[in-house]
Amino acid sequence: MGFAQILANGMVLGTLYACIAIGFSLVWGVLNVINMLHGSFIVLGGYLTYFAWAYTGISPVLILPFVAALLFGLGYGLQYLFINKVVSAPVLTTLTLTFGLDMILYNLMTVFFTATPRRVSMEFGRLEFWGVAMPVDRLIGMGLALLLTALLFVVLKTSRIGRAIVAVRMDREAAALMGIKVNHIYAITFGIAALMAGAAGSVFAMVFPVTTNLSGVFLGKAFVICVIGGLGGVSGALVGGLALGIIESFAGVLIGPQNAITVGFVLMLVLLIVRPQGLVGVKGYE
């Protein structure tokens, strides 16, 4: 495989990774919660898309917004009912709580959807340009992932809700004094994170098979990407995701796909020690 091909594969993977990690990064940065549910949200998004597609035959790209809306409701509800109650507790408490919730969601998914790998198969063939071959469905996935990421960036930058979320991230007390309902913003943030995870799952199901067993893998990716890119915004997740995608792609060719995953984790551990704010993260948000 040529250099350009490996790089292109890495970038496709990287944009998907960015989409996977962005919600996790948002929750960590704004709520200071490590959300163990994140992987299952992604799997849920993937499964919902698959079944909606399999039963109705509607294009998954049109199903995606509905799945995203559903996940937003789920995320908002979970945060409002459960996590908000202990949101300022130490990490041990919040992490354990989200892990408990994840066990419930995971179990529900295995019962209702079974653990069979599912994939929306769209036959679009492949494109070739400059000696790089790429299946069209992957390009669509990459485009969707970039679109979603850009959308979130715009929402955070320009909308009232987005500014309020950023304000709460910067200083919770000051934001509350300015009349922002912090609990409501927390729930919305968590909802948006679930939405992004669900949408990422939708996109993922169009490109790779999705199964419940992947939820731990997705979660692990989110950890690594957040630490590589740093918390504090969309750019961190994008840089982290692309970096991880490209590194894994090259490592997979050089030392074998099994070891490529280890490389990501080791890189994360090294970065945790030498640069905990991440590659593009802002110091003080860690």
Partner 1 sequence: MMAKKSPWPLIVMALWVAALALTPVALGNYEVRIAISIAMFTALALSWNIIGGFTGYPSFATAAFYGIGCYVGALAQRAGVPAALAWLAAAAFVGGVSFLLGSIVLRLKGHYFAIGSIALVDISRLVVSSWGGVTGGGNGLNVPLLEGRPPEVSALVLHVMLVIVVAAFLANLLTDRSRLGFGLRCIEQNEDAADMVGIDTTRYKIAAFVLSAIFPGAVGAVYASWVGYIDPTDSFDILTTVKVPVMAMLGGAGTLLGPVVGAVSFVLLEELFWANFLEWNRAIMGAIVVALIFFLPGGILKLDWRAILRRAPRGKPAERKTG
Which residues contact partner 1 (rule: CB under 8 A)?
28, 32, 34, 82, 85-86, 89-93, 95-97, 99-104, 106-108, 110-111, 216, 220, 223-224, 227, 256, 258-259, 261-262, 265-266, 268-269, 272-273, 276, 286
Q: How far is the CB of 15 from partner 1 (least distance, A)?
A: 23
- Considering the complex, state which of residue 99 and residue 124 has its C-beta at the smaller distance from partner 1: 99
Other Cβ atoms closer than 10 A to 167: 18
Q: How far is the CB of 196 from partner 1 (least distance, A)?
A: 20
Residues 229 and 272: their CA atoms lie apart, in Å, by: 11
Residues 108 and 89: their CA atoms lie apart, in Å, by: 27
Q: How far is the CB of 170 from partner 1 (least distance, A)?
A: 18
39-to-88, 95, 122 alpha-carbon distances in Å: 23, 14, 24
Residues 33 and 83 sit within 8 Å (Cβ to Cβ): yes
Q: How far is the CB of 124 from partner 1 (least distance, A)?
A: 34
Q: How far is the CB of 192 from partner 1 (least distance, A)?
A: 20
Residues 149 and 22 sit within 8 Å (Cβ to Cβ): yes
Residues 237 and 25 sit within 8 Å (Cβ to Cβ): yes
- Considering the complex, state which of residue 17 and residue 53 has its C-beta at the smaller distance from partner 1: 17
Looking at the DSSP bridge assignments, the partners of residue 118 are: 210
- Considering the complex, state which of residue 80 and residue 153 has its C-beta at the smaller distance from partner 1: 80
- Considering the complex, state which of residue 158 and residue 258 has its C-beta at the smaller distance from partner 1: 258
- Considering the complex, state which of residue 62 and residue 81 has its C-beta at the smaller distance from partner 1: 81
Residues 37 and 39: their CA atoms lie apart, in Å, by: 6
